[in-house]
Amino acid sequence: MVFVLDAKKKPLMPCSEKRARLLLERGRARVHRMAPFAIRLVDRTQETSVLQPIALKLDPGSKTTGIALVAQQNDRLTMLFLAELSHRGNAISEALTQRKGYRRRRRSVNLRYRKLRFDNRRKPAGWLPPSLRHRLQTIHSWVQRLRHLAPVATIAQELVRFDMQAVQRPGISGIEYQQGALAGYEVREYLLEKWGRTCAYCDAKNVPLQIDHVVAKAGGGSDRVSNLTLACEPCNKKKGAQSIDGFLAADPERLARIKAQLKSPLKDAAAVNATRWALLATLQAEGLPVDTASGGRTKFNRSRLGLPKTHGLDAACVGNLDAITQITTNTTTTLQIKACGRGAYQRTRVTEHGFPRGYLMRRKHVRGFSTGDRVRAIVPIGKKAGVHIGRVAVRASGSFNIQTAHGTIQGINANFCRLVQRGDGYSYHLRKDAPLLSGLNAGVGGVIF
């Protein structure tokens, strides 16, 4: 579906691609935005149009959030827009870790001693780490964007809560909830007992053992006991920041045995739990009715209606859909939205040891373009002849790189580029879901596509 705005930029009901094409060809509309695609009518206002209530539904996740716009009439649910929003919390966490290392070095190496100041700082009520605050703000930003593009009447959020103990230990009950994994143990003693006082990678005994992160901290691993094991010094150095799958690729039996002893990581579940109430309060501040539902209700709705498992369709199944017996979809694609940021303040690139290896331009605009803009490049001749559409990475020389859906095209001259849409911190890609949707089960009352 195509978003439609009136002459005063007020949202109207979305229309089909065919109708939008006809409106553009006849001069009754203008292109307002490319991604997500929206047109603006020149001869109609919201006061003269009939609007149907549209529900904006959200399925928040730690890495990807499902977004759906649906219209419900009696027993029929019509899907108008599906999107999957990928967050960049891990990139933010890595950038903050790098900054912490730079500051620690400056305090202790090439400057006079300065006292640490973190004891003087206080966290306000409702404080969230930057990686989680980004997730909350990104979802809120897209709620506001979609409200400007469609007549949203209600909002539904999946208010899921994960039981951390049950994720680690299925079947836990009673007093076991009060006894953590370290009940009666120190961390090191617990690991020695858990791994039999041997190296997990070479079975070495009676040697000094070191605590090793199975998923390295450089790869997003945590300090939870479920991510710790014991290794001798040679194995620990040899593994380094490698993944355990790559390090033990030649020994699948040992790899399977180690994974059997590990417990499920809870980092993603903790992120969802930490932001669920803050997200609900943010949505309620929008002034629209907000409905909440559990993850079990979403799964029940999806199973009853015979829908496959995707983030976008999960979002469409959020809330009370007991009266729905038929589903009609006006979209066969899901818009993939990836948060890419708006560039960096740091203008010096460094090596893995922290030494400078290159310098970026002081200005971010080159010949009217900046990194992140969506451009259309028409190259007439040469090895790169053709039409290339995607996000551009600018260079001072005027030779740009364009990241398309099929890969990165390097060395495109700025003279061949035409601006399609200014960079807004996101990259967009349409994923075809027609084969997936055509294989749906009939469900209750039949599913119509």
On whether both 157 and 61 belong to a single domain, the answer is yes
CA angle, 250 as apex, 244 and 254 as ends, to 5°? 60
Residue 159 tokens read as 């208010």
**pLDDT in the model for residue 367:** 93
Give the model's confidence band at 295: pLDDT under 50 very low, under 70 low, under 90 confident, else very high.
Answer: confident
Give the start-end residues of each E strand in 233-282: none
Q: Which residue has the higher pLDDT, 336 or 441?
A: 336
**pLDDT in the model for residue 387:** 94
The yes-or-no verdict on residue 181 having pLDDT over 50 is: yes
| Chain centre to alpha carbon of residue 49 | 36
On whether both 235 and 314 belong to a single domain, the answer is no
On whether both 275 and 314 belong to a single domain, the answer is yes
Lowest mean pLDDT among 150-164, 172-186, 349-363, 409-423: 172-186
- How much is the average pLDDT of 59-85? 91
The yes-or-no verdict on residue 433 having pLDDT over 70 is: no
pLDDT, tens digit, 9 for 90 and up, residues 316-333: 999 888 888 888 876 678
On whether both 203 and 241 belong to a single domain, the answer is yes
CA 104/CA 230 separation, integer angstroms: 28
- Does 309 reside within a domain? yes
Give the model's confidence band at 434: pLDDT under 50 very low, under 70 low, under 90 confident, else very high.
Answer: very low
**pLDDT in the model for residue 431:** 83
- How much is the average pLDDT of 35-59? 89
- Does 115 reside within a domain? no
Give the model's confidence band at 436: pLDDT under 50 very low, under 70 low, under 90 confident, else very high.
Answer: very low
CA 13/CA 2 separation, integer angstroms: 9
- Does 142 reside within a domain? yes
Whether residue 156 contacts residue 318, with contact meaning beta carbons closer than 8 Å, is answered with yes
CA 318/CA 59 separation, integer angstroms: 7
DSSP 447: -
- Does 22 reside within a domain? yes
Give the model's confidence band at 169: pLDDT under 50 very low, under 70 low, under 90 confident, else very high.
Answer: low
Q: How many domains does the chain have?
A: 4
The yes-or-no verdict on residue 306 having pLDDT over 90 is: no
- Does 374 reside within a domain? yes
**pLDDT in the model for residue 344:** 82
Residue 15 CB-half CA count within 13 A:
20
The yes-or-no verdict on residue 114 having pLDDT over 50 is: yes
Q: Any idea what the CATH number is for the domain that residue 377 is in?
A: 2.30.30
On whether both 222 and 243 belong to a single domain, the answer is yes
Lowest mean pLDDT among 88-92, 224-228, 311-315: 224-228
The yes-or-no verdict on residue 6 having pLDDT over 60 is: yes
The yes-or-no verdict on residue 121 having pLDDT over 80 is: no
Q: Which of 213, 237, 265 is the last residue of a domain?
A: 265
On whether both 313 and 376 belong to a single domain, the answer is no
- Does 43 reside within a domain? yes
On whether both 247 and 320 belong to a single domain, the answer is no
Q: Which residue has the higher pLDDT, 142 or 108?
A: 142
Give the model's confidence band at 7: pLDDT under 50 very low, under 70 low, under 90 confident, else very high.
Answer: very high
Give the model's confidence band at 343: pLDDT under 50 very low, under 70 low, under 90 confident, else very high.
Answer: confident
Whether residue 297 contacts residue 44, with contact meaning beta carbons closer than 8 Å, is answered with no
- Does 74 reside within a domain? yes
Residue 367 tokens read as 């010949």
On whether both 142 and 275 belong to a single domain, the answer is yes
The yes-or-no verdict on residue 165 having pLDDT over 80 is: no
CA 209/CA 228 separation, integer angstroms: 12
- How much is the average pLDDT of 26-53? 89
DSSP 183: T
The yes-or-no verdict on residue 119 having pLDDT over 80 is: no
On whether both 69 and 145 belong to a single domain, the answer is yes
Residue 151's DSSP bridge partners are: none
The yes-or-no verdict on residue 259 having pLDDT over 70 is: yes
**pLDDT in the model for residue 184:** 59
- How much is the average pLDDT of 341-345? 84
- Does 385 reside within a domain? yes
Q: Any idea what the CATH number is for the domain that residue 69 is in?
A: 3.30.420.10
Residue 182 CB-half CA count within 13 A:
9
Mean pLDDT score across all residues of the chain: 85
The yes-or-no verdict on residue 442 having pLDDT over 60 is: no
Highest mean pLDDT among 300-304, 342-346, 349-353, 439-443: 300-304
Q: Which of 224, 247, 265 is the last residue of a domain?
A: 265
On whether both 238 and 374 belong to a single domain, the answer is no
- How much is the average pLDDT of 61-88? 92
On whether both 77 and 150 belong to a single domain, the answer is yes
Q: Domain limits at 24? A: 2-48
Full DSSP string of 45-80: -GGGS----EEEEEE--SSEEEEEEEEEETTEEEEE
DSSP 205: B
Please state, for a pLDDT cut of 70, what percent of the chain lies above it: 87
DSSP 382: S
The yes-or-no verdict on residue 402 having pLDDT over 80 is: yes
Q: Which of 218, 249, 265 is the last residue of a domain?
A: 265
On whether both 369 and 334 belong to a single domain, the answer is no
Q: Any idea what the CATH number is for the domain that residue 244 is in?
A: 1.10.30
- How much is the average pLDDT of 222-242? 88
